[in-house]
Chains A and B, each alone.
Chain A
Amino acid sequence: MTEQAAKYRLTSAICVLLWGFVNSAHGQMGVYMETEDFLETAFPDSEPEVSVIWINNERREVMEEILEHPVNALRISYWVSGDTTAWILDEIGKDKPITIGVVVQGDAIKMIRVLVFREIRGWEVRHPFFTDQFLNSQLTREERQGVGLDRTIDNITGATLSVNALRGVSEIVLFLVQESKT
């Protein structure tokens, strides 16, 4: 191999590596689960009905306390069958909304999935090693700390804002499930 050919190969290899590195971040953005597939997984044996919950001032206050930013929706639609409900909510991670699906059976989370991820960083939250932490979690209400999950969710270094988005949405959903029963 001539010296020139060796240089050419080395340059090509570096370009390929750089291209792969650049694409690895953008490659994590996208649709991970279609809404229809999410609903089929949530309700494998039944046809859910659509229902809505109106967000009055008291509910809004609690939701804003959980998410730490204003909530502008007046109502939220969800799917229900028996004691199982499925919710799809958007929450901003850093800059872009993450679409998160949560299924609640009774008062506990049965499934949580990242359906669409639009951020450049923090995509690790879609993996089961993270989302499994939410399974069977319930809501606690303490006078000092307000509404929260009954367990600690471990953070992921470099994905703190995405972790916060999932934690916030799971708390909102559990809160709304309780409210929908009152």
Chain B
Amino acid sequence: MKLTEIVRERGLAVTAEVAPPKGSDPAAALGEARKLAALVDAINVTDGQGAAMRMSPIALARLMVEEGIVPVWQATCRDRNRIALQADLLAADALGVENALIVTGDHMVLGDHPDAKPVFDLDSVQLLHVAAEMLEGHDLAGNALDTPLDLCLGAVVAPEADNVELQLIKLRKKIDSGAEFIQTQAIFDPAAFARFMERADLQGVPVLAGIIPVTSPQAARFMNARIPGVNVPTWVIQLLNEAEVSDRPKVAAQIAGQIGASALEHCQGLHIMAQGRSRMLPDILSFAGVARA
């Protein structure tokens, strides 16, 4: 099912994410996806997240489709040129994947193969543009496709990035290029998010606010240092510091859920990045007020 259809039918969409395995056995990742699927509408499958080499997300997305789970394939521009990117868009569609989240991708120097050749033949805005052309039945070179591409195209934005004005300009470009839904980088400041949403020229495109549960002060510091566009504020670190270690998962879920609940006053859904901690999802969703009955 397409994310836009989910938003239309339910009034909102809640998504989570899984990472493909570092190996060829998909069992553990699929197991995680099954658990998440009972709680959310769709599940992002990351594409070499953090520029770390893992199984192709298209393979895991297909295995999810076979089990009736709705995947959102994250398609990064980092590793493939324009020919390979278009080929994979067609492949994902052929395999029953219905949603593609188009991102430029983390640079290789941040991952486990820092010496790899950076491709970046297209950026996210250009790939959105190309994919939108393919929906109309043409490839980038203008050649007709036998059958038009059929994918719901998503894009990302970082509302808490250093430079919000530049993010807003680029967001509008992504929407003009064909983004049908927007998923944000993690947000921690609901007031800032509200201001961002007020300024964003969304043209009616639904937005899913990104939520990351932060489970320890150490995790917060790591994320601030290593995850692009993420800024865990000091009040979150303070609350985690004050909590007993055994209470921290609950505190983390409560903080994440409350941020999510505030965000939902201004957007159409949540994207929860629990980073392997699927057991926290029920608490986060219930604090956010979007747990399934």
Question: Do A and B interact?
Answer: no
